[in-house]
Amino acid sequence: MSAESSEASGRPGSAWDGEGPAPQRWDEVDRLVSAWRHERPDLDVSPLEVLSRVTRLARHLDRARRTAFAERGLETWEFDVLSALRRAGTPYQLSPGQLLTQTLVTSGTMTNRIDRLAAKGLVVRGPDPNDRRGVLVRLTDSGREVADAALTSLLKNERELLAALPDRRLGELADLLRELTVQFESE
Amino acid sequence: MSAESSEASGRPGSAWDGEGPAPQRWDEVDRLVSAWRHERPDLDVSPLEVLSRVTRLARHLDRARRTAFAERGLETWEFDVLSALRRAGTPYQLSPGQLLTQTLVTSGTMTNRIDRLAAKGLVVRGPDPNDRRGVLVRLTDSGREVADAALTSLLKNERELLAALPDRRLGELADLLRELTVQFESE
DNA sequence: GCCAAGTATCTTGATGTCGAGTCTCCTGCC
DNA sequence: GGCAGGAGACTCGACATCAAGATACTTGGC
């Protein structure tokens, strides 16, 4: 990647040419990148234009979800697990290992999560009939209700966050992000 | 947002029309969205195409950075703070409050981080001459060296992650992400 | 000048996560 | 069929984070 990327001009909104709509507002990452270009003009910091925004946006999302779920007495991590089981379809059960790859946590964390969800009666742990090492985690009726209700309100919130962009651009954004994620999932 | 977004077809790569290059590989989010469309056909889950990818990509990035920094004996959170101070420019000092907005953590967390960085000799805490409530955190020479070295290797790693996309598309991606982040930063 | 409201930072307690190690069981090779 | 290596889930200790509240100071209105 060269230093002549679309952001090299030092202002946001690569497509703006002085006419048409005003340029977008600066965000924290614009300030961050601009500061680095001043302090370290020897480095090409353009990767941060994308990756710092991903990290920061994820943190904002995390906060928004945390407070939204909290109103329903639900923790974000609880939804992560319950929703994975819910969308697996009947009989709504997965192994801890499958849950790991879907939620991107370590096995110790997942054991702990399952324990607490089981204590709340949202899931039950059972043996895997085909592998005596294995365990199958299954959603209870109560857990399914919680997952369904939470998904509906999550989507409502997230739709509002995306209202700033038309569908066509959201599709482009999804495609661009996919190209970055596939690298992490290839093994 | 309607259910007729570019992703409604249920396969990734909205621009693919059956000719030209093959469609991209599916990622976990494609599977996730496809599963929801089967289980909850009554809901429009298209927001997840974007936001679940952001969350997951951030987690992958987090892991990659964690292991990369660990080779240098550095924690991700240490770099977050040191780099904010470094790019502030001489005399490399900021208040805890300014560090909060840059790193998106709570004040308790920042107090703790500064304590530990000070114990390692990477920053020093001093009084704010203009506000006796305030504190100024300043980078030591040692802290500056650590920050500079870590930034260089961070950028090297991240450039590789972005190599899959040409500069023009990275610029588009940065612009799209900016439009989502500004909403969180407006107050 | 004083007071109320606001701001900046720190303290505390609860909690979730990680990473390394352990135990059990499976799989394929000889 | 036995054994080595791998895979799946769990245990445990260390630790970073958060939320809420406490403390000290500042600011603006009167």
Give B31-73 pLDDT, tens digit per residue: 999 999 999 999 999 999 999 999 999 988 888 888 888 878 8
Task: Give the other-Cβ count within 10 Å of B39's Cβ.
Answer: 18
Residue B12 pLDDT exceeds 80? no
Q: Which residues contact A97 (CB under 8 A, 6 or more apart)?
A: A107, A134
Supply the pLDDT for residue A183.
Answer: 83
More confident residue, A14 or A87: A87
What is the pLDDT averaged over residues B151-175? Answer: 91
| A150-183 pLDDT tens trace | 999 899 989 988 998 999 999 999 999 999 988 8
Instruction: Determine the nucleotide nearest to A59 by Cα–C1' distance.
Output: D17
Fold entry, domain B76-152: Arc Repressor Mutant, subunit A (1.10.10)
Residue A62 pLDDT exceeds 60? yes
Residue A9 pLDDT exceeds 50? no
Supply the pLDDT for residue B106.
Answer: 95
Supply the pLDDT for residue B177.
Answer: 94
The confidence band for B184, taking pLDDT boundaries of 50, 70 and 90, is: confident
Structure tokens at B157: 């790693």
- Nearest one of A165, A178, A4, A117 to B54, comparing CA atoms: A178
Residue A11 pLDDT exceeds 70? no
Residues of B in contact with A184 (CB under 8 A): 57, 60, 64
- Let me know: does B76 contact B153? Beta carbons within 8 Å: no
The confidence band for A12, taking pLDDT boundaries of 50, 70 and 90, is: low
Residue B76 pLDDT exceeds 60? yes
The mean predicted confidence, pLDDT, of chain A is 86
Fold entry, domain A74-187: Arc Repressor Mutant, subunit A (1.10.10)
- One-character DSSP codes across A48-117: HHHHHHHHHHHHHHHHHHHHHHHTTT--HHHHHHHHHHHHT-TT-EE-HHHHHHHHT--HHHHHHHHHHH
Cα B69 → chain centroid: 15
DSSP state of B183: H
What is the pLDDT averaged over residues B102-129? Answer: 94
What is the pLDDT averaged over residues A88-104? Answer: 94
What is the pLDDT averaged over residues A84-110? Answer: 94
Distance A99 CA to D10 C1' (A): 15
Instruction: Determine the nucleotide nearest to A107 by Cα–C1' distance.
Output: D9
Supply the pLDDT for residue B187.
Answer: 54
Residue B10 pLDDT exceeds 50? no
What is the pLDDT averaged over residues A137-145? Answer: 95
Residues of B in contact with A1 (CB under 8 A): 159, 162-163, 167, 170
A126-137 burial, b for 16+ CB within 10 Å, e for fewer? eeeeeeeeebbb
Supply the pLDDT for residue B20.
Answer: 52
- Decide: CB of B135 under 7 A of nucleic strand C: yes
Q: d(Cα A172, Cα B177) in Å, to the nearest integer?
A: 11
Supply the pLDDT for residue B64.
Answer: 85
Q: Which residues contact B59 (CB under 8 A, 6 or more apart)?
A: A58, A104
